[in-house]
């Protein structure tokens, strides 16, 4: 039997406690599967006196996570504190500098500093593994890095924020509005400390940037992800989409185009019958398309103690087995710089707007769209009882830049009331 593998765990919240429980409860199973004993040496959190529903008395306590990361008696630093910089980043850098392997669930830190950390890790012959950082319990990082390593990946897409999917599916199922469901999510404890991370698409954008790096051999570039949240989605949009055979999802898409790597996280209309269209509640789904394998659909719980701790454990077990894989599946110095794609793959768009109820108003809107080459597929006026008329337009496949110019020009007409809502239609 090899030497025990010694772990230092920083962060004893939802995920950290889940990991401690697995390590305590599955000692024999883990030893059988890795051929080594997995030992927690030391732990860290802010409050040393908090009751965490798990026994910690067997482990040394470090109030400073950087000190924990540098201890001589740990082999792996398990970072489960969160936060894109601050203590998580400092401690991760300290661990790597000391030649320790790092396991983390921190998508925010990796989205901002992933390339820098991967470079440091390689210089120190250390590892960073982060299965739990994307889609919680779904083994999507290992699927891309290992299971699909023989494929040229053409597209990765998915629903990677359970809170947004919960809000959108509950709007559909119950007819309650965004504001009521946002409040419910706050009461249920679903929201991140900064809710904009969820509803603004940032958390899901972080995750997409990590998948893109692996799938396309690119440096993590979160700044290049075109982000749009779900805050402006109204019940009306959910209902109109349903009427046309679609569901609205906060969908992330990364694909290599002739113009470069396109990465976007935004609400999209997707066909109701598609796997993503049928995804309910807080679950996640990632679809990967590869030249050899075709299409892979991975679904499951994207958050919570058990699923996220399960993913963290998969990384610890991988290291215990002696498997050593570059952070993003290939050496950091071979990852290419991508930058924002100058254009977005053309698509049909759903546009909801309110028009002054006056002769020629619709014609003016149609003219403005036509001038930019945006062709209308369907158009209808509905629910018309006020002074302004709600109008729904579905375009044919169009260039997003042309549509944006048309929308700017629409504002210059005297017939528009408020700002139109525009949602991409993603056929899959
Ligand atoms: P959490 O419940 O808020 O726990 C955070 C833990 O970190 C707490 O134990 C806290 O200490 C500790 N901590 C915070 N700042 C610290 C500092 N300066 N020094 C030492 N300890 C510190 O968070 P979580 O939900 O477990 O999430 C942990 C990580 O997993 C995050 O990166 C998150 O994005 C990621 N993640 C979470 C989920 C999920 O379902 N929760 C899913 C996927 C990924 P105290 O307890 O003493 O306050
Ligand atoms: N806030 C995230 C979500 C947690 O709702 O999916 C998991 O990363």
SS3 119: helix
CATH number at residue 278: 3.30.360.10
CA dihedral 56, 57, 61, 63 (to 10 degrees): 60
Distance 94 CA to ligand 1 centre (A): 18
pTM, two decimal places: 0.96
Q: Is 318 a domain residue?
A: no
Q: Is 129 a domain residue?
A: no
Structurally, the chain folds into a number of domains equal to: 3
Low-confidence ranges of the chain (pLDDT < 70): 1, 384-385
Same domain as 215, residue 153: yes
Same domain as 151, residue 91: no
Distance 303 CA to ligand 2 centre (A): 6
Taking 3-state DSSP, the helix, strand and coil percentages for the chain, each rounded to the nearest 5, stand at: 40, 25, 35
Same domain as 162, residue 61: no
Q: Is-contact 331 167, C-beta < 8 A?
A: no
What's the confidence (pLDDT) of residue 1? 59
Strand 388-395 versus strand 128-129 pairing type: unpaired
Same domain as 272, residue 221: yes
Same domain as 148, residue 292: yes
Task: Collect contacts of 292-299 with beta carbons under 8 A, ≥24 apart.
Answer: 292/150, 292/151, 292/152, 293/148, 293/151, 296/143, 296/148, 298/135, 298/138, 298/139, 298/140, 298/143, 299/138, 299/275
Distance 137 CA to ligand 1 centre (A): 16
Distances (CA, A) of 58 to 20, 67, 106, 164, 339: 11, 18, 26, 39, 48
Same domain as 212, residue 285: yes
Same domain as 211, residue 96: no
pLDDT digits (tens, 9 = 90+) for 181-225: 999 999 998 999 899 999 999 999 999 999 999 999 999 999 999
Q: Is 27 a domain residue?
A: yes
CATH number at residue 405: 3.30.70.260
215 Rama sector, left if φ>0, alpha if ψ -120 to 50, beta otherwise: alpha
DSSP assignment, residue 3?
P
Q: Is 127 a domain residue?
A: no
Strand 294-301 versus strand 260-271 pairing type: unpaired
Same domain as 287, residue 215: yes
What's the confidence (pLDDT) of residue 388? 87
Same domain as 168, residue 100: no
DSSP secondary structure string for all residues of 176-198? --HHHHHHHHHHHT-S-SSTHHH
What's the confidence (pLDDT) of residue 240? 94
What is the domain extent for residue 23?
A: 5-104
CATH number at residue 15: 3.40.50.720
Where a domain ends, among 271, 302, 333?
A: 302
CA distance 24 to 152: 40
Q: Is 326 a domain residue?
A: no
What's the confidence (pLDDT) of residue 340? 85
Q: Is-contact 354 384, C-beta < 8 A?
A: no
Strand 416-425 versus strand 153-159 pairing type: unpaired
Q: Which atom of ligand 2 is nearest to the CA of 284?
A: 6
What's the confidence (pLDDT) of residue 428? 85
Q: Catalytic positions, please?
A: 207
The token duo for 11 is 């962060």
Same domain as 253, residue 144: yes
Q: Is 309 a domain residue?
A: no
Q: Is 238 a domain residue?
A: yes
Q: Is 52 a domain residue?
A: yes
The pick from 10, 22, 46 for probing ligand 1's pocket by mutation, whose C-beta has the most ligand atoms within 8 angstroms, reads: 46
Strand 246-257 versus strand 260-271 pairing type: antiparallel
Query: Does the beta carbon of 87 sit less than 6 angstroms from any atom of ligand 1?
Result: yes
Same domain as 270, residue 156: yes
Query: Does the beta carbon of 147 sit less than 6 angstroms from any atom of ligand 1?
Result: no
Distances (CA, A) of 286 to 134, 258, 392: 10, 23, 30
Where a domain ends, among 247, 274, 302?
A: 302
Where a domain ends, among 302, 317, 336?
A: 302
Same domain as 148, residue 17: no
The pick from 15, 131, 138 for probing ligand 1's pocket by mutation, whose C-beta has the most ligand atoms within 8 angstroms, reads: 15
CA distance 95 to 210: 21
Angle of CA points 85, 88, 90, to nearest 5°: 80
What's the confidence (pLDDT) of residue 422? 97
């Amino acid at each position: 039997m090899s030497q025990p593998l010694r772990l230092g765990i920083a962060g004893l919240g939802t995920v950290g406690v889940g990991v401690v429980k697995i390590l305590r409860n599955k000692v024999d199973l883990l030893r059988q599967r890795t051929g080594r004993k997995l030992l927690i040496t030391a732990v860290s959190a802010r409050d040393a006196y908090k009751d965490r529903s798990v026994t910690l008395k067997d482990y040394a306590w470090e109030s400073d996570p950087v000190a924990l990361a540098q201890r001589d008696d740990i082999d792996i630093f398990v970072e489960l504190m969160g936060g894109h910089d601050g203590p998580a980043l400092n401690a991760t850098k300290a661990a790597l500098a000391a030649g320790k392997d790092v396991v983390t669930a921190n998508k925010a830190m990796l989205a901002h500093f992933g390339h820098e950390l991967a470079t440091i890790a390689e210089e120190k012959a250390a590892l960073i593994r982060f299965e739990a950082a994307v889609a919680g319990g779904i083994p999507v990082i290992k699927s891309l890095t290992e299971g699909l390593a023989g494929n040229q990946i053409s597209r990765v897409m998915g629903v990677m924020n359970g809170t947004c999917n919960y809000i959108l599916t509950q709007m559909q199922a119950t007819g309650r509005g965004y504001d009521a469901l946002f409040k419910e999510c706050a009461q249920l404890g679903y929201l991140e400390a900064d809710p904009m991370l969820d509803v603004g698409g940032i958390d899901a954008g972080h995750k997409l940037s990590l998948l893109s790096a692996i799938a396309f051999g690119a440096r993590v570039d979160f700044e290049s992800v075109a982000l749009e949240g779900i805050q402006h989605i109204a019940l009306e949009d959910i209902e109109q989409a349903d009427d046309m055979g679609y569901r609205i999802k906060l969908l992330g898409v990364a694909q290599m185009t002739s113009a470069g790597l396109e990465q976007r996280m935004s609400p999209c209309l997707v066909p109701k019958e598609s796997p993503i269209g049928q995804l309910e509640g807080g679950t996640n789904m990632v679809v990967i398309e590869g030249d050899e394998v075709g299409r892979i659909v991975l679904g499951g719980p994207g958050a919570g103690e058990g699923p996220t701790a399960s993913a963290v454990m998969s990384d610890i077990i991988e290291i215990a087995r002696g498997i050593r894989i570059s952070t993003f599946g290939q050496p950091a110095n071979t990852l290419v710089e991508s930058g924002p794609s100058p254009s977005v793959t053309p698509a049909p768009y759903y546009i909801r707007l309110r028009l002054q109820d006056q002769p020629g108003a619709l014609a003016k809107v149609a003219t403005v769209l036509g001038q930019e080459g945006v062709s209308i597929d369907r158009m209808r006026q509905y629910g018309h009882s006020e002074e302004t008329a709600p109008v729904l337009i579905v375009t044919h496949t169009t260039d997003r830049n042309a549509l944006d110019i048309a929308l700017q020009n629409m504002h210059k007409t005297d017939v528009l009331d408020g700002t139109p809502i525009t949602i991409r239609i993603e056929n899959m």
